[in-house]
Chains A and B, each alone.
Chain A
Amino acid sequence: MKLKNAWPKYYKKGVVTHYCPGCGHGIVHRIVAEVLEELDLGKSAICVNPAGCAVLAYLYFDFDVIESAHGRGTAIATGVKRSRPDLFVFTYQGDGDLSAIGTAETIHSANRGENICVIFINNAVYGMTGGQLAPTTLLDMKTTTTPLGRDPKYDGYPLHITDVVAQFPGVVYAERVAVDGPAGIRKTKKAITNAFKTQVDGLGYSIIEVLSPCPTNWKLSPVDSFKWVTEVMTKEFPLGVLTDKRTRKE
């Protein structure tokens, strides 16, 4: 019998994960490694990892990685890709990184239509710092800095940054997916494949927003966290393709 789930070539072996039980990062890391292998991009790939839980992504990714200051991922990716257009460049960022402190970099790299991919992990909280309010935190959701729940009078509303950038002419492919179960994981892999191919074809900017569980900071069990993504989070952040301009004539 052929082993169906072989260890991905670009995922390091023998490392113990630092991610919490039920965290979505490990799933998305594996998907990224699998897609790089399937599209034969691992040798030329450079990942820009964020400040946040995934700052340690280089412990798992077995391809070249450069760390970024908080929020600056797409600016660094711009520098890498403009300097070496032959490399395959993507950022891996969280919601605080990409849609709070790095909003300007996100908006303008998208508006320039940089030929890069952005993997955007949305778990509605700041994970590494212990579960504070994120731009993507849902209304009434309790975090350590919204102890009574997110109140729009003080904290504003959940920010839909992927919907914003999807309107830009330079953004070729944008999709929101969720790693909330086997079907969601398959869809996520398909979306990331589409995004990576967009860059390979030289078409421009792509962004995949992945709704991802954070059981520790949500104070839910892993199983309930996955359920919460499906039942609650997708109501605020509906899944689907937000723009697809891949067949557009220049």
Chain B
Amino acid sequence: MNKVFISGNHAFAEAAIRAGCHCYFGYPITPQNELGEYMADHMRKLGRVFIQSESETAAINMVIGGAATGARVMTSSSSPGISLKQEGISFLAGFELPAVIVNVMRGGPGLGNIAPAQGDYFQATRGGGHGDYRTPVFAPASVQEIADLTYNAFNVADKYRTPVMMLSDGMMGQMKEPVVFPEPVGTLPEKEWALRGRGDGPSRYLCSLILDAMEMERHNWKLVRKYGEIEKNEIRYEEYMLDDAEIVVIAYGTTARIAKGAIKRVRKDGVKAGLLRPITLWPFPRKALADLATRIRQFVVFEMSTGQMLEDVQIALAGKADIVFHGRPGGVVPTPVEFARIIYREYQKTAKIQL
């Protein structure tokens, strides 16, 4: 397929359509409205389902209904709306139903604003709703990656029967880039667990209520085993100029793009900086970080938050290296110059070069 020039929000939608998404349910919220509008334009023409729900809560429950029948389903929202969806995401995890949920993050807490931010990292990577569960989280850093990861998210959701979160922000959603989309999916996986009416077979039920504590515990450990498989198979990250790096930046999504600009800048002055960009935020590439810590002592974490992924970096490095954090919360988008300044400052502390 040819390259198309398309916004991130539209790319989420087009990739989902190509992945065989049969139902989209959503409620308007900035800065992700273009996603739902794209679905409204295309889904019914394709004989698929688009419903604008009365709330984010209703949307995620419609997602549950669609997923229960075995269809590929998606919903999208932005930070406050994602909070409303958390009850339903917990149910999806409990039911073991696959679905893709897009969060185009904005500044918070509360209504916050509509500018790009990364303040929902904890919510996305720690389960988010009530109960003992995790959701795989993909953090694209380009519109091309939005297309590829969204397409793949449906496969991951189906393979492990789990809700999957696409964690993006207003910058990613609003900007346009050239994209080559994956080909429309051929046959979809068979889902023998889906509810289709009992037919001539035995009746079945989907239920997250498990009153017996021992049985509930068994279900919890079953989920943990599944999460273990996901941790084993699905971790993704990008290494950028790490071969000779002496200082390493950890950043994801929009911040990682800005960090790349900063690294190019400082490299011109001989500062050996590199980037490790987590693409999956859960599971987090802990081992990759731990391996780096065997030869690198200086790490810098950039986020558009007050320090959330920072905690995962701290866990991964386990005190084996110095970590400096620089965050711009509230919808402020940092610049490569700003990041470069931080890298220079930290690099000079070990006084390898005089800048």
Contacts and interface: CB of A to CB of B under 8 A. Distances in A.
Contacts of A63: 197-198, 203
Interface string B27-64: 00000000000000000000001010111011101111
Interface stretch (B205-213, B217-225, B245-253): B205-213
A43 B199 contact: yes
A67 B200 contact: no
B327 interface: no
A25 interface: no
A69 B61 contact: yes
A68 B61 contact: yes
B88 interface: yes
Interface residues of B, number: 39
B203 A82 contact: no
Given A43-B197, A43-B198, A45-B197, A67 B208 contact: yes
Interface residue tally on A, bucketed by range: 35 or more
A111 to B, nearest CB: 8
Given A76-B64, A108-B58, A65 B206 contact: yes
Interface centre among B25, B71, B195 (most CB of A within 10 A): B195
B206 A75 contact: no
A79 B205 contact: no
B199 A78 contact: no
Contacts of B54: 104-105, 107-108
Interface centre among B61, B195, B199 (most CB of A within 10 A): B61
B27 to A, nearest CB: 11
Interface string A198-241: 00000000000000000000000000000000000000000000
A171 to B, nearest CB: 16
Contacts of A242: none
A67 B207 contact: yes
Contacts of A84: 69, 71, 196
Given A66-B206, A83-B49, A104-B55, A76 B199 contact: no
Interface centre among B67, B91, B207 (most CB of A within 10 A): B207
Contacts of A107: 54
B66 A82 contact: yes
Contacts of B272: none
Give the top 3 A-B pairs by smallest Cβ distance, nearest first.
Answer: A79-B65, A75-B61, A79-B62
18 contacts: A10-B203, A45-B197, A48-B65, A63-B198, A64-B196, A65-B203, A67-B95, A67-B207, A68-B61, A75-B62, A79-B65, A80-B66, A82-B51, A82-B62, A83-B23, A104-B55, A104-B57, A107-B54
Given A63-B197, A75-B65, 9 more contacts: A63-B198, A69-B91, A79-B63, A79-B69, A80-B69, A82-B65, A82-B66, A107-B54, A108-B53
